[in-house]
Amino acid sequence: MVETGKKHIGRNIARIREMRGMKQETLAELLGVSQQKISLFENAEELEDVKLEPIAKALEISVEALKNFSEDAFFNIIANTYHNTSNDNSTLIASSLNYYPTFNPIDKLLESYEENKKLYERLLESEKEKSRLIEELIHKITKA
């Protein structure tokens, strides 16, 4: 893809959001706007910095990174991460700093919370069973 002329800021927003595994609804919630508003932003060729700042913050990138985003550059960073031939690993380090997960951290946090809740309930049930068995043993010993 050859990039010429002006960048379409809305496409940059959409691509970065997608690469972060974020839905329009999630971004809308983070910004306190409707999903339709996010759709309008993503269709806009240009947006004022005052609108870009909260979007960039929600996407956890700088306004400059949002403005200058390039898929070619992004894929070059990924390629250099896995095909680094420099002796000092500077390319590897630089590309590592630009890595963003493709999952929503809040979703992962909620998943781990639910898993911990299930484990806690199983542990609690096991402890109740132990207490019941100990009470039965004590009851048998006191009758004997």
The rounded distance, in Å, linking the Cα atoms of 86 and 34 is 46
Q: Which CATH architecture has domain 1-69?
A: Orthogonal Bundle (1.10)
Whether the pLDDT of residue 120 is over 80: the answer is yes
**What are 10-62's pLDDT values in tens digits?**
998 998 898 888 899 999 999 999 999 999 999 999 988 899 999 989 988 88
Whether the pLDDT of residue 81 is over 60: the answer is no
User: Which comes out higher in pLDDT, residue 113 or 69?
Assistant: 113
Of the candidates 110, 108, 20, 28, which has an alpha carbon nearest to the alpha carbon of residue 65? 20
pTM score, whole prediction: 0.49
Of the candidates 78, 47, 75, 74, which has an alpha carbon nearest to the alpha carbon of residue 63? 47
In the numeric block, the tokens 């010429």 are attached to: 4
- The alpha carbon of 31 is separated from its chain's Cα centroid by a whole number of angstroms, namely 16
Asked if 102 and 20 touch (Cβ cutoff 8 Å), the reply is yes
Whether the pLDDT of residue 101 is over 60: the answer is no
